[in-house]
Every structure is written in C-alpha cells, then in structure tokens.
A and B are shown apart, each in its own frame.
Chain A
Amino acid sequence: MSTMTFGRAINAGLRRAMEHDPKVILMGEDIGKLGGVFRITEGLQKDFGEHRVLDTPLAESAIMGTAVGMAYRGYRPVVEIQFDGFIYPAFDQIVCQVAKLHYRTQGAVKMPITIRVPFGGGIGSPEHHSESPEAYFTHTSGLRVISVSNPQDAYTMIQQAIASDDPVLYFEPKRRYHVKGEVDESVDLAATSMEDAHVVTQGSDVTLVTYGPLVPTARDAAIAASDDGLSVEVIDLRSLAPIDFATIEASVRKTGRLVITHEAAQSGGLGAEIAASITERCFNYLEHAPVRVTGFDIPYPYSKLEFHHLPDLDRILDGVDRAMGRPNSLSGLER
C-alpha cells in the first residue's frame, strides 16, 4: 500500500500497463514533454520514448482515427482527450468507427482503445472545460464506459480498461485529481471487474446512486443524513455502460427508495436510465418514485455560477428528503 493522489494513481496505472505490454501506446495533445495539462502522463515519454508516448497535432478526430489505424496494426492505444468539451470533433470516429468496427467486421477487427476523458466541473474553468458528456457514449452500442472515483479504482481500472479488447471510455473527475488515497499497487487485476458497482456506504433507508466526482459528496451526504437519523446506502456505479443493475436492484429491494445524482444534465441522462430500469426491475419494492438530483438542462455555466448547477451535499440531502417523503424544497407541489 502506498498513499498517492488520484492523478498519480492514473499515472502509475498507465506506467504498469506500458511495462506489461509493449503494444500499449499513449496519444494526445501535450502529453509528452509537458505530461499533459493535468500532468497525468508526466515522465512517461521520458521513460518509454517518443514512439510510445506521442504528442499529436491538435486534431481530436485525427487522434481518434489514427488510434483506430494503430489498433488495426495490433496496438492498444490510450488516447487522452484534453478536456471533456474537446471530445466532440472526435465524436464521429468514436461513434462510427471505434464503437462499430467489431460488429461491422463480425469480430475480425478488435478496437482495444482506451479513451481517457478528464470530465466534470468545479475547477472554475471557462466554457468547454467542465462538461459531463458521458450519456452520449453510454447511448452508443459497442462502447464500454467507466468512471472512477478514488485513487485505487483509478489505478486498477485504467489497467483493466487497457486490457479490455473492447473500446473503453474512462472518465476521470478532474476536480478530484489531487485527492489522496491508499493504493495497493500489487492488486490482482483479474480479481475484480470494472463492471461491478460498489456499495460505498451501507444503509437501509434510501439508496443513493452516483459515480465519479460526486461519490465523495454522496458519502458526505450519507454521513450528514445519519446525524438526522437516516441510513443512506451509497453506490458508486464505476461502470456506466453497462450499469450493474443487479447491485442497485438488491439495494433498492432493501431500502425501497432511490436517489440518483450526477453532474450531467438531467433530461435523457443516466439518471433517467437508472430510474426506468430499476422501476422495471423492482417496481413493487419502491416506496417512492425515483428521485434525480442532477445538473440542469443548460450549457455548462460560467464559473461564478457553477456551484448552482452542480449538485452538492445539501441538494443531494434535499433529494433524499424527497425520496423519504419528508419536508423538502418541493413539498406541497405536485411534481
């Protein structure tokens, strides 16, 4: 066990994957000498060489498209998209090529590409630097989508993503890069699955589902709720596509109440998918309609207002109150 920051844990995971498999190469803007704008790839070009850590020209579609060609050639590219809001030029290559080539070629062509995306808000950035675009990708067949919430998962799951023969989008909550945690570097990658949701905090009154940057917030909310006599079970999804519904279902069968929180906008988002799926699976166990506590359906706002947009501890607790049928901000309203 060693203590390291979230960002360092990703770096260590990348390093281990590169040591393990010479076909693993990193591609992205500023990831070489600079080590990336968040320094996640710091030192890797120096140690592995320019042929394995490629500073690319500034064209996201080309980064993704050439990664596809590299995968055809037998490489396992790990692509860094500098910021969430910069992924859209690569959207066509991700959706039409990366996601579909295995299906298109009836399994002949594998696309073991990992796409690292620093995502989410809370860092006071201008537009395009704080978005949560994960639902675009969870809606796309052929992709696996994961999001990590702590240094251990960051370390383990980046390696599992790289080892996957399917393309994986790896969403990193950039505002948690500096959070420190214990990391077991000798972890057996085969012992866990990146598709399993984890129960972070056990509880019996309400199930609170989240992922990525809001996991620590949800955990704090559970602690605050316990002061109020409420027992909140917090689930860290870890995998957003597919979602481990069995774990959520087991929890909801116990609590009868479900709150989902994410930074991404509400409509058509993951909260909607979880609410619908859990309602389908265990409607008879629900004591209250599922509650969503999410970002608003707005373009990501200017930073002075971003904390109104981002769900925080109090908004999550308000959602918990709603699910519990306790007095809340919407009490008395039929909605």
Chain B
Amino acid sequence: MPLNDTASAGEDTLIQLLSPSGVRRENSDYDRWVADVDGPALQALYEDMVVVRRIDAEATALQRQGELALWPPLLGQEAAQIGSGRALREDDFVFSSYRENAVAYCRGVDFTDILRVWRGNASSGWDPFTINMATPQVIIGAQTLHATGYAMGIQNDGADSVAVTYFGDGATSQGDVNEAMVFAASYQAPVIFFCQNNHWAISEPVGLQAHVPIANRAPGFGIPSVRVDGNDVLACLAVTRQALDRARTGGGPSFIEAVTYRMGPHTTADDPTKYRDANELEDWAAKDPISRLATLLKSMGLMTDEFVTAVDAKAGDVAAKLRAGCIEMPEPEPMDVFKHVYSTPNSWLDRQQENYGRYLATFESGPAATEGSH
C-alpha cells in the first residue's frame, strides 16, 4: 500500500524563524515572542544544543561499551527540545516520553540521573518534584493524560503554571492522546501538547499514522495548533512561549507539532538501515538544527574562537561527568526489589520479602547463615 506522505511534507507551511541555511526570517506573528533573544541568548541556545548532543553521543557510546542496556538517542531533535524546554518556567510541569533528555537538561536534571533507567539501576532517574518533570513514560501517549489531569489541578488551584506534555508522531494514534485532547478542551485546561513529529515510530513512517498533517487534528478537538520547523530552535521557543502565554491567561490548551527528524535509531537496539532510505537522512542532515544556528551566529560575528572553545570545553566536561557518574553509580541491593511497591506495609509482600531474605541468607557464610549450615 503506498503511503500518503502529506503528514511529512509541506515545509513551506511551517513556522520558521531561522532557515536551514542559517538566515533569520522575519515573521510578523512570531518575532515578538523572541524579541528579547539577543546575541548572548542565541549563544546560550547554541551551547545547550551542543551540550545535549554531546550527552546523547556519550550515552550512545556508553551503551556500545556495555555500560548501558539501552539508550534512546535524540540526535536531530535538539532544537525542538531546547527551544520548548527553555520557554518553560520553573513552576511549569513536564510529562514526557523517554526521548526528552534535552528537556530534562533544561529542567536542571543531574546528568547521571538520566542514565539510571538505562543502566537498569532504577525504574526512574529522579524525584519528579525536584525538577517539576515526571520521569520518562514508556507507555506510548499515557503521559498526555497525566499532563491534562495535572493542568486540571492547576486550574482548581487558581495557579498560572502550565503542564506540558511531549510525545511523538506515533503516539498520536493512541486513544490516550486523543482522549487527552477531549478532556483538555472540555475543561480548557492549561496544557500544551508538544508533538515532535520525528517522522519515525521505530520503523513505521509518519505516513502510516496520519494522512494529514498531525497539527490539523487538534482544531477538531477545539484546540488551536501550529506546525513549526522543529529544527529551528528560535521558532520552537517562539511557539512554545505563545502557547504558554495562552495557557497562563486562561486561553486553555494548545497543540504544537514540531516537524523534525530522528537522525539516529529508535533506540540502540534498532537498525534503521532496514527500513529507511539513506537519501532521506542526507536531506535532513542539511537541515541540522545546530549548524544553522552556528551559521547565524557566524554572520553576527558571535562564533568567536573563544566562544567555540568554551562551548566545546563545557560539552566535554559534561560528558566526562556523565561517564564517571554512570560507572560510579551505586549498585542496588537485592532487597531493594521489594521497596516502594506500597507506601505502607503490605502483609502479602512482607511475607515474600521475609522468605526471600531467609533464602538469600542460606548463601552466606558466617553469622548471618542459617543454623543448619554450621
């Protein structure tokens, strides 16, 4: 069956403030949302993207070296995640999938915490309330409902913070995502649906999920939507700020489709050469989010040797810390397997835990061993 690729085409309809060749494009609707983004601010966005790409590369290397069981690379999606992530306020709350490591970076996550899950040392890397970001959701699209419910709570509290949920093009086929939009519209909840259309849901192209641009669906739910160049960090920042403002001022939910591209595999366990064309990769490499901002900075005289060296040093430093943190991560204790299933004691589990403790003790020599072993 030939796939309709309308969902992936239509670049001319994208909101774009920075062209793939690094030219700043004026946009009367969106320029005002980034009017404050001066040279140093652009440099900061550049640094963010370089650092998170370096984190991503280091994590991929750690997986290849057997230090991580798995890693879901974000390569190519830096602008979508940094642009939106840097728009948020500290009291906003993020509900993401497992690929939003650059958003976690913006939220101030301890780098090594990102790796806990993938090293198998924990089921989630951090306490969500310390950085106001839930830990990665693996069930596709489930987090969009959590964000919507959280936003309903914000509304009940009379607060002006916003819940932001991240998901991919594949997730838009899930019932939960569609139900979340129904609820968000019904209650006019302050929530942003941030869809990174990276064109691939593992091996399935976006054309299999959608026959019209994904952003076109939201208005059917009564939710305003935009389709933005997801490789343009400035445009992603602008549209997210606009949506945040709408949510904070009682305007309800928004839907953002950031059209980007997953340059790497779905995870390190995947082999994209089996299902996608190398030419496609080349086309998207030409739209790289970092190199286009580098070109702009160069044209502004801001890509000085000093700046480039400093960014490189920071990225290297973060990568070294990430690697050290990964390797030095304390191993969990066997009996930790029983912890936190319930918040209060549970007679069934207590019995199993006690019995397993006795079983483990039979392997120990010395005072902890059972009497029979002496």
Contacts and interface: CB of A to CB of B under 8 A. Distances in A.
Interface stretch (A80-88, A123-131, A238-246): A238-246
A74 B343 contact: no
A67 B348 CA distance: 27
Interface string A97-136: 1001011111111100000000000000000000000000
Contacts of B145: 61-62, 64-66, 68-69, 93
A104 B124 contact: yes
B233 to A, nearest CB: 28
Nearest to B340: A107
Given A61-B179, A165-B343, A241-B348, A68 B156 contact: no
B348 A97 contact: no
Interface in B313-355: 339-344, 346-349
A277 to B, nearest CB: 9
Q: For this complex, into which size category does the number of interface residues on chain B fall?
A: 35 or more
A102 B128 contact: no
A166 B150 CA distance: 18
Contact of B343 (A51, A67, A72, A166): A166
B135 interface: yes
Main secondary structure of the interface of B (DSSP, over half): helix
A73 B128 CA distance: 11
B21 interface: no
B125 to A, nearest CB: 10
A216 to B, nearest CB: 27
Contacts of B128: 72, 105, 108-109
B275 interface: no
Interface in B143-176: 144-154, 156-157, 163, 175-176
B15 interface: no
A93 to B, nearest CB: 7
Contact of A142 (B151, B152, B163, B342): B342
B95 interface: yes
A104 B341 CA distance: 8
Contacts of B122: 106
A93 B180 CA distance: 13
Contact of A74 (B139, B153, B176, B180): B153
B179 A102 contact: no
Contacts of B151: 69
A105 B135 contact: yes
Interface string A143-162: 01000000000000000000
Contacts of A106: 122-124, 127, 339-340
B347 A244 contact: yes
Given A65-B180, A97-B139, A105-B135, A73 B343 contact: no
A179 interface: no
Nearest to A165: B343
Contacts of A61: 145, 175-176, 179
Nearest to B182: A57
A11 B239 CA distance: 46
Interface in A162-195: 164-166, 195
Contacts of B176: 61-62, 65, 92-93
A66 B123 contact: no
A75 B148 CA distance: 14
B148 A66 contact: yes
Contact of B142 (A51, A96, A164): A96
Given A69-B163, A74-B153, A165 B123 contact: no
B347 A195 contact: yes
B183 interface: yes
A59 B183 contact: yes
A69 B153 CA distance: 8
A56 interface: yes
B149 A103 contact: no
A103 to B, nearest CB: 5
Given A69-B151, A73-B154, A74-B153, A57 B341 contact: no
A275 interface: no
A57 B347 CA distance: 38
A242 B352 CA distance: 12
A25 interface: yes
Contact of B186 (A57, A69, A104, A241): A57
A72 B135 CA distance: 12
B341 A66 contact: no
A185 to B, nearest CB: 25
A141 interface: yes
Contacts of B238: none
A70 interface: yes
Interface of A: 25, 51, 54, 56-57, 59, 61-62, 64-75, 89, 92-93, 96-97, 100, 102-110, 141-142, 144, 164-166, 195, 241-246
Given A65-B146, A66-B180, A105-B135, 12 more contacts: A57-B182, A65-B144, A65-B148, A66-B146, A70-B149, A70-B150, A72-B146, A102-B340, A105-B124, A106-B340, A109-B129, A144-B346
3 tightest CB-CB pairs across the interface, nearest first? A69-B149, A65-B145, A73-B153
29 contacts: A59-B179, A62-B179, A62-B183, A64-B145, A65-B145, A65-B179, A67-B149, A68-B149, A69-B149, A70-B149, A70-B150, A72-B128, A72-B134, A72-B146, A73-B153, A75-B153, A97-B146, A104-B123, A104-B135, A105-B128, A106-B124, A106-B340, A107-B343, A165-B343, A166-B344, A242-B346, A243-B348, A244-B347, A246-B347
Interface of B: 93, 95, 122-124, 127-129, 134-135, 139, 142, 144-154, 156-157, 163, 175-176, 179-180, 182-183, 186, 339-344, 346-349
